[in-house]
Amino acid sequence: MPDAGLAGWSLPEDLRRAVFGAADEWRRDGKVRRLHARDATLWTGSDEARWLGWLEASADPRAEAAIAQAVALRESVQKDRIENTVLLGMGGSSLCPEVLARTLGRREGPGRFHVLDTTDPVQLLSFRNRIDPARTLFIVSSKSGTTLETDVLRRYFHEAVSDELGAGAGGRFVAITDPGSQLEAIARADGYRAVFHGVPEIGGRYSALSAFGLVPAVMMGIDPRRLLRGAAAMAAACAQGEAIEQNEAVLLGIVLGVAASRGRDKVTFIASPSLHPLGAWIEQLVAESTGKQGKGAIPIDGESTASPDLYGADRLFVHLRDSKGAGDDAQVDVLREAGHPIVTIAIDDPYALGGEFFRWEMAAAVAGSILGINPFDQPDVESSKVAARRLTEAFASSGSLPPVTPLVEEAGIRLYADAAGAQRMRGAGKGGLVDLLTAHLGRLEKGDYFALLAWVARDEPNEALLQDIRQMVRDATRAATTLGFGPRYLHSTGQEHKGGSGRGVFLQIASQDATDVPVPGGACSFGVLKTAQARGDFDVLVARGRRVVRADLGSDVPAGLALLKDAVRRALAAR
């Protein structure tokens, strides 16, 4: 196969040959044509054909209808002295708007635009104290209309607005949801200002170019039609009649799938500063689409770039390059010269994000075919929801969560571990905090990755400490590392954690909230809900045989994180 489609990509010879072989098979078997024909046998032959509406999203008349409705909404709320627009959503409903707000948002229109996707009471109260609910437009975004986190946030802010505006509170709310959902019924009953419909044939993480991305774009002053034009251009380049060697989206998917099947499954993003926000959206798409049946590509977003010797042979680097201001070329060149595989994607115009959304959706679908899985389902996500629901029901009936006994408690930090890990630690005669962390980090093997799962407020001080821990582990072990904040990671990388390769070594970080916030009309508070979600996810990871330790920091999170960071440093030194 000619190298035209791989121009600017640097792949080791064995990987290049494997990619060429897979591309030849795709050409020979007409697989691009079959994808556009919605042939489910390209994957597992189950329900994949139902979820391919994203292929035509840029030309779907429903997109234009949503834009027109959103423009009218924006003009109407201009008169209401709106100071902020807040999107309440999770996963596919929140990550695209977050990317747009951080890259293209011009802070025009009805107030500054924010995304809120947390159940952490500290983060919630901090945000609540910065806005006037009566002068805020809330966009409640949920494809299913039943997303737990979105629903409790909706209830909380609806009560806050009702306290000031009474029966007129609904005029400060907008819903984006699939037709006929529970959320639509609530919106109609409560007199929401507008209801926007998603496309039932598009799954949540593939919904960036539908109302879930386009309506927020309008509200933050972005031209959604320019995004769609970029997507349409990319879709045309990926059409079934195009030569496969020119089809960069299909080739990207082939590289992702082939590399993952050959052990290079840590898809590590190096992004120009202006493109950093895109990584979180790609992370969800790739992790949730491919991480199942013991397979998958594992996206590594937000990891600091290091010297080549700190990376193993399990890496595939993707360079998201802003050619107008790239300051990362030198780092990438060093990695290339050291023989690491590099896929470079140049993004010259911020509005080219529309094309990138389509490129990566196509690539995820193709990678799923290469891996032999269904890239449109999420079979392991529900397990954590069930476990959390069981715990909140126990709280509702007894007034407390079921007690658990820590493996060790030291300096205010309580550690819990999976049974195999606990046995390993006890068998080695280890008993202190540093000793237990040493034993846990010693479970990292070649080809594993280390995941920090943080159930604390997602703010700059906390993130800085967690990134320090992450970098220390990477530098000491050469393992790829990830960082996710709960509950948002449950809707992103959580599928891969439980259904993917099983190569993760997890450190969950929990906390107790000194200040809590009740959920209106609910039996528990935000703090109880967050704790139930964290414990539920821990329990499911343990049940799936994952290597996991939970560190409960208590109520002083900054002090606890500082102590944990020092303990990890000492544990790595003792390995």
44 within domain boundaries: no
Q: Are residue 179 and residue 256 in the same domain, yes or no?
A: no
How many Å separate Cα 265 from the centre of its chain?
17
d(CA 132, CA 162): 12
- Considering the domain architecture, whether residues 328 and 218 belong to the same structural domain is answered as no
Are residues 367 and 395 located together in one domain of the fold?
no
Please give the DSSP secondary-structure letter assigned to residue 247.
Answer: -
Find the helix packing angle between 248-261 and 13-28, rounded to 10°. 120
Q: Is the peptide bond before 487 cis (omega within 30 degrees of 0)?
A: yes
Query: End of a domain among 341, 371, 401?
Result: 371
Low-confidence ranges of the chain (pLDDT < 70): 1-7, 106-110, 241-242, 325-327, 427-430
Q: Are 317 and 270 in contact (CB under 8 A)?
A: yes
- Which range of residues forms the domain containing residue 60? 56-222
Q: Report the pLDDT value the prediction gives residue 1, as an integer from 0 to 100.
A: 44
In a domain, 50, yes or no: no
What single DSSP character describes residue 168?
Answer: G
- 230 within a domain of the structure (yes/no): no
Which strand (E) or helix (H) includes residue 553?
Answer: none
Residue 248 falls within a domain, yes or no? yes
pLDDT at 5: 54
How many structural domains are present in the chain?
A: 3
Q: How far apart, in Å, are the Cα atoms of 555 and each of 250, 306, 513, 552, 559? A: 48, 34, 5, 9, 9
Same domain for 453 and 472: yes
Q: Do the domain assignments include residue 399?
A: yes
CA–CA distances in Å: residue 239 to residues 41, 145, 230, 258, 366: 19, 33, 14, 22, 13
Is the domain of 417 the same as that of 457? yes
Same domain? For 206 and 68 the reply is yes
Nearest to 440 by CA among 462, 413, 418, 464: 418
Residue 193 backbone phi and psi in degrees, to 5: -65, -35
* 307 domain-assigned: yes
Residue 352: name the closest of 320, 326, 316 by CA: 320
Q: What is residue 420's predicted lDDT score, i.e. its pLDDT?
A: 83
The CATH number of residue 497's host domain is: 3.40.50.10490
Q: Is 261 in contact with 371 (CB distance < 8 Å)?
A: yes
pTM for the model stands at 0.96
- Kind of pairing between the strands at 298-300 and 173-177: unpaired
Q: Note whether 471 and 433 are same-domain residues.
A: yes
CA distance 395 to 397: 5
Q: Are residues 24 and 89 in the same domain?
A: no
Co-location of 501 and 367 in the same domain: no
Residue 38 CA neighbour count, 13 Å, CB half: 13
Q: In terms of domains, do 192 and 297 share one? A: no
Continuous H helices in 348-418 = 353-371, 381-398
Q: Assess whether 75 and 126 both reside in one domain.
A: yes
Strands 413-417 and 449-454: unpaired
- Please give the Cα distance from 174 to 137 (Å, whole number): 8
Q: Are 58 and 209 in contact (CB under 8 A)?
A: yes
Q: Residues with Cβ < 8 Å from 385, sequence gap 6 or more?
A: 148, 490, 536
Residue 207 lies in a domain: yes
Report in angstroms the alpha-carbon separations of 310 from 287, 474, 481.
Answer: 23, 7, 12
pLDDT at 244: 85
Question: What CA–CA distance (Å, rounded) separates 553 from 557?
Answer: 6
Closest CA to 306 of 483, 465, 474, 445: 474
pLDDT score of 575: 83
Encoded tokens for 321: 């390059």
Strand, coil or helix: what is 10? strand
| Cα separation, 335 vs 261, whole angstroms | 22
CA distance 112 to 105: 9
Cα–Cα distances (Å) from 165 to 135, 171, 241, 490, in that order, read 10, 9, 57, 34
Q: Are residues 367 and 393 located together in one domain of the fold?
A: no
Q: In what order do the strands lie in the sheet with 298-300?
A: 298-300, 266-271, 315-321, 342-346
Cα(487)–Cα(467) distance, integer angstroms? 18
In a domain, 512, yes or no: yes
Q: Each residue of 477-489: pLDDT tens digit?
A: 999 999 999 999 9
Between CA 157 and CA 116 the distance in angstroms is 11
